[in-house]
A and B are shown apart, each in its own frame.
Chain A
Amino acid sequence: MRAAAGQFPSLQQPITAITPTRPGMSWLAWLLLTLGRWIATLKMVSELEFIHFAQWQRVRTKNLPRLTPDQPAEDFAYDFFVFTTNYNGDWDQYIDTFARVPHIRLGMRLLWGTSQGFPGPIPLRTFKQYIHYHSYPETLYYSAYPASTVRNIEAAVAVKAELQKFANVSSTTKAETPAAFRTRHLEMLKAIAPKLGSAPGVHPFTIETSEPGEAIPVLGRLAGGGKTGQTLIAAMSPIEVKPGYEVTNEIAARIAAVSESTTPSPFAKCPMLHFARLVVLDDLIPKLGSSPAASLRTNYLLFVAAIDGELDDFLDCLHAADPKFVQDVWGRCLGYPEDGRGPVFLRRYIARSLLPVQLPYVAFPEHTALDIRGAVSIHADMLDWMAADRHSTSDAELMAEWQSWLDQLFDGTRAFR
């Protein structure tokens, strides 16, 4: 299976692959994922430098969220292995190279070795077919910085740090001569030069804060030095008991409409959100082949997000951003209180739908989404500044020009902290 023509350079692509675990091997999948962080799996992912986030989860079928008494218990014969990630570039072509690096090959074997029908990482052809076959289209995919690759962010964050270091010295050095300034400035430029490849910058279609006048309660708390450190969550909410598909289709259509709209989605109004996806799973079972109990009895909505700080803060924000969307999507899922109109109901509902997270990876765990967007935009400004010809600028002029430029960077959202 090949990706559509003319796709690259595609900057971020999601994958949602859900494979059945081999009967009797489910515990091993769990064990491997639990041990995963010690067997260098995550180091391997970070070496690849094109994955923003990834998580692997073993999900017990019998533990799938059952949120109303009349939702039947699942008796499907397999457990699930849920892999969600995103990446830069062209999947087919990069996956090609996986099989050439021995420890990555081993990593694949370990991670998917417990999955039913897994052909192994080689031949690559059958491996690709397997992942494609078990991949589900995202009904909605959101990224706070969709135009940035992992390396773009890496460069932006490094440039921002150098500028910050430079600014700190400037503010503590009294009466620096213009000549000394130029020397120091030159050293800084040399340090950041390898990071100055041009980048698309901040994607124009996302916004980072709410519209003026629109009150989003959680903003203040985050800006006031809220918790750092990212949280990865995955929630599987039951939509509808089969053979019902009406609600499922309506929810899917509602999400798709938001996904295709040119106006910012409610997710874009949540500044603590890095990535989010919604996947309507109404055909999980046909992909698993025929077995006696060849059907999940319920359709589910998979919701995966990477956020700064606490899940509840994010859910509050999402609810404030578009309560109608929350109502139209989760509000119609099984077990959501019928008159549940406030954010507290969303919090409680998602909490009941959560799947245990086992092996989470994020490329920039130290940085909030706003940090990253700020760094990306500072990087773009730095490029513009570098592009001007200053060969005949005097030391004093350079110093003044730089200072006024640097002052502009302290414009609130992108400010150095």
Chain B
Amino acid sequence: MKRRYIILSVVLIVLVTISGIFIYQKKQKVITIGIYSDSSWDVPNDNEYKFIDYVVKKFEKENPNVKVRYESGINKNDYLEWLSQKIVDNKAPDVFIVPSEQFGFLSSLGTMRNLNYFMDLSGLNTDDYYPTNLKAGMSAGKQYALPLESNPMMMCVNTDLLKKEHITIPKSGWTLNDFYRICRQVTKDTNHDGVVDQFGYADYSWKDAAQAYNAKLFNSQGTASYFNSDKVRQALTMMEKLYNLQKDYKVTADDFDKGKVAFLPMTLAQYRTYESYPYRVSRYSSFSWTCIRMPGATPDINSTYVNTSMVAMSSQSTHPLLSWKLVKFLSNNSDVQQKLFTYSQGASVLKSVMKSKDITENLQKENNADNALTEEKFASIMAKSQKYPEFKNYNNVMQTADYLINNALENGNVEVQLSNIQNQIQEELAK
């Protein structure tokens, strides 16, 4: 008698559970996504919501009982504030875009769910990605966000100018010494009016130099800085030499546009928009140019910084499985990634997409054929790439460091100031 009751109740519970799951499955679910309208890379973007609309439509088609909602009209500049508001109100979108420079801040607060479990569960192949992109969404060994789009830093070279000076165009494995040598060689007064009118570089900063030496500026928690380490010292000494080459002149990207500068560091997004409307009309570039990877102190150093925009699942999400589906869909679906390449200006984070014919053709169409960025070149840049450091107030601390070091370069006393700078940065970190 007793056993019969037990069996009956077990059967009842199983039935209720199954029907509950069935009803839940059938019920229409709404997941929200946090997204901004403009480009992640501070370049003009007129495709505003084309990409996300495409994603939403495709995702809803594949998952019939799911609706994806997003709030429009948020600029990238207001995005963090908007997201913060949502998080504080406990109404964070299930899935949200994480701009490269906000990852440290958002991950330190625990706003994103650890994705490792979901990655294992769905058998996501991490080899699909460029390692640097994948690492960008990692903190303390845990994957909090999957890469969405990447934007590596490259060095643009005015090939006409180098040819004129009988200098061979550097290959991808070039070094900082090559860079300095060429800069010194091209810095001259070409029309002999007593004013230097041809320069080696524009916009090359001490941060690029530090990266060229692979100098570690902070520890991973952002609690210690190493500004008076040997590598930083070497990098800043080199920077001082470069600075002194053209210290009396303010060389800008404009001068590069005018064909007066040999090298200009540029992101891929800037490169892709460089020759396209509306920039093309405003520029009078009559020289040919190409892109190579950033110089390193030695050829094997990861000298190229890569910005990666990411997509993450909110830790406040009540639909983790669906949210993960959407995250994976955005990051790992090659159709989606291809569309992203078309509508945005960065590079895809999937190796397979970057290798596809469409993308190669697209890249060639955007720039003139002879100096176009090829997949091989892109792969070689990505192979020697490095993600930006991330911790909660990295951006603030870097601003201070920038100010102090540029001041020291201007005054020509970097060597003397370095320990002082280190102390001030350390103080800033302790705040």
Are A and B co-members of a single complex? Answer: no
Residues of B bordering A, CB below 8 Å:
none
Residues of A bordering B, CB below 8 Å:
none
